[in-house]
Structure 1
C-alpha cells in the first residue's frame, strides 16, 4: 500500500502503545473524545494538532516527540 505521508516516530509510538493496550485507533478516539482525523494527523504528521498531541501523549504515557 502506497502512503502519501510516512508514519512519524510519534505515530509509531502511538501505534505501538495502542497495540500493547490491545486497542484500535477508533476505539481509543471514541473513549477519549479525540477526532479520528486528528489522531491520523498526529500519526502521519500532516498537521501539528498540538492540543491533541499533548493529550494523546499523556493518555498513552509516551513522550511528545518533536514534530
Structure 2
C-alpha cells in the first residue's frame, strides 16, 4: 500500500524544471545546499518549508502561487 502523498502542482513545477535543466533532485540539492528531505516535502506538500520554498522557486525560476 502506497502511503506517499500525491505530488502538488508546485511539486510538478519543480520536477518539470529540473527535467528541463537535465538535473536530478539529488544533484540539485547538493549543488544548492538544500536538504533532500526538504525538497521532497515541497514536492509532496507534507511540510510548508517556507524558507526552502522561496529559495527553490527563485533558483528554478518558478512563480509561486498560494496553495490551500
TM-score in same-fold range (> 0.5): yes
Gap runs ≥5 in structure 2: none
Shift in CA distance, 3/17, structure 1 to aligned 2, threshold 3 Å: farther
The count of residues paired between Structure 1 and Structure 2 equals: 67
Tell me the equivalent position of 1:31.
31
**CA RMSD between the two structures:** 1.3
Q: Where do 4+ consecutive residues of structure 1 move more than 4 Å?
A: none
Partner of 1:53: 53
SS of aligned partner of 2:6: coil
If the length of structure 1 is used for normalisation, what is the TM-score? 0.93
Q: Where in structure 1 are there 5+ consecutive unaligned residues?
A: none
